[in-house]
Chain A
Amino acid sequence: MTGEQITFLVIALATLGSALMVVTTRNLIHAALWLIATLFSVAVIFALLSASFLAVVQVVVYIGAIAILFIFAVMLTRKDMRDQSPQLNKNWWVGALLAVLTFGGLYTLLQGWSGLSRTVADIPSGFDAVAELGTELTSFTGYVLPFEVASVLLVAALVGAVYVAFNPRSGDIRK
């Protein structure tokens, strides 16, 4: 077993352990903090896959923006989070059964797939993945249309989120 494999196994255990804590812990602030641990482990997985740009974006966007947004939302709705009431609904075993069945189904599906034994290809020398990614995202023969649609989606989400969360009683912007 090489050092790379040991690193992967440690990181995979950290990912799954912190993900399990996200879905089982009672305190939602702790769940959001465990989510940060999960996201960081996924960033390490991206680095292991030599996707350096995505590893950085994972830390900046997911941990820096999305996880902080979660913590804000938990704090704004904290009053209702009574710790004595159960955190799982009464049909939680159906969810657990479905999750186990999904994992089993995906696992058996993978065992029958012929491409599973595919080996990792060497990145050719002089090939800059980040530069190539930037070229692909902005060239007309590449993915400029999904890129622009994503930015329109983000603007629409920003406007929609501000409108939905706006409290007409406290603010006087509409007067």
Chain B
Amino acid sequence: MIPLSWYLILSAALFSVGLFGVLSRRNAVAILLGIELMLNSVNINLVSFWRYGNVMHMAGQVFAIIVFAVAAAEVSVGLALVISVYRRRNTVIADEIDLMKW
């Protein structure tokens, strides 16, 4: 049997890797890749809590499905914004998108 802590530690490590990607990549598409990693680690947490809690309550799996939907919406709008910025400013580097920087 796999202890609950293994899943939680794996999820924490995956979240940290995604956080590193979000904070330190220059390309806006790569930042969105990091956000995907973080959302996946959250899903691992939710499903493992469902499995190790009361199996009859489906709240963990329902939450994971809502996270799927939110991730799909977030990615489609985010990539549309990146493509739109690339058309107008000809860059996808996050440092160079500084039109609103004061």
Cross-chain contact of A32 among B8, B33, B58 (Cβ < 8 A): B33
Chain A residue nearest to B83 (CB atoms) is A165
Is A116 a contact of B4 with CB atoms below 8 Å? yes
Q: Within 8 Å CB of B53, what residues of A?
A: 118, 121
A115 to chain B, nearest CB (A): 8
Q: Which of B54-102 contact A (CB under 8 A)?
A: 54-56, 58-59, 61-62, 64-66, 68-77, 79-84, 86-87, 90-95
Chain B: residues with Cβ within 8 Å of the partner, total of 76
Cross-chain contact of A70 among B13, B29, B44, B70 (Cβ < 8 A): B29
Number of inter-chain CB pairs below 8 Å: 254
Chain A: residues with Cβ within 8 Å of the partner, total of 91
Q: Within 8 Å CB of A87, what residues of B?
A: 25-27, 30
Given that A20-B17, A102-B16, A157-B77 are known contacts, is A4 also in contact with B2, CB under 8 Å in the complex? yes
Is A28 a contact of B51 with CB atoms below 8 Å? no
Is A35 a contact of B86 with CB atoms below 8 Å? no
Cross-chain contact of A143 among B1, B30, B62 (Cβ < 8 A): B62
In the bound complex, what is the Cα–Cα distance between A74 and B32 (angstroms)? 11
In the bound complex, what is the Cα–Cα distance between A86 and B26 (angstroms)? 8
Cross-chain contact of A22 among B33, B70, B87 (Cβ < 8 A): B33
Is A92 a contact of B36 with CB atoms below 8 Å? no
Given that A23-B18, A129-B55, A165-B83 are known contacts, is A51 also in contact with B25, CB under 8 Å in the complex? no
Interface residues of B (CB under 8 A from A): 1-10, 12-27, 29-30, 32-34, 36-37, 40, 43-44, 47-48, 50-56, 58-59, 61-62, 64-66, 68-77, 79-84, 86-87, 90-95
Contacts A51-B47, A51-B51, A81-B92 aside, 6 further interface pairs with beta carbons under 8 A come to A22-B33, A35-B33, A77-B83, A110-B12, A133-B62, A164-B84
17 residue pairs A–B, Cβ–Cβ below 8 Å? A16-B10, A54-B65, A57-B65, A73-B83, A77-B83, A80-B90, A87-B25, A87-B27, A89-B24, A95-B19, A96-B20, A96-B24, A132-B56, A142-B62, A156-B73, A161-B77, A165-B79
Interface residues of A (CB under 8 A from B): 2, 4-5, 8, 12, 15-16, 19-20, 22-23, 28, 31-32, 35, 38-39, 42, 45-46, 48-51, 53-54, 57-58, 61-62, 65-66, 69-70, 72-74, 76-77, 80-81, 85-89, 91-92, 94-96, 98-100, 102-103, 106-107, 110, 115-121, 123-124, 127, 129, 132-133, 136-137, 142-143, 146-147, 150-151, 153-154, 156-158, 160-162, 164-165, 167
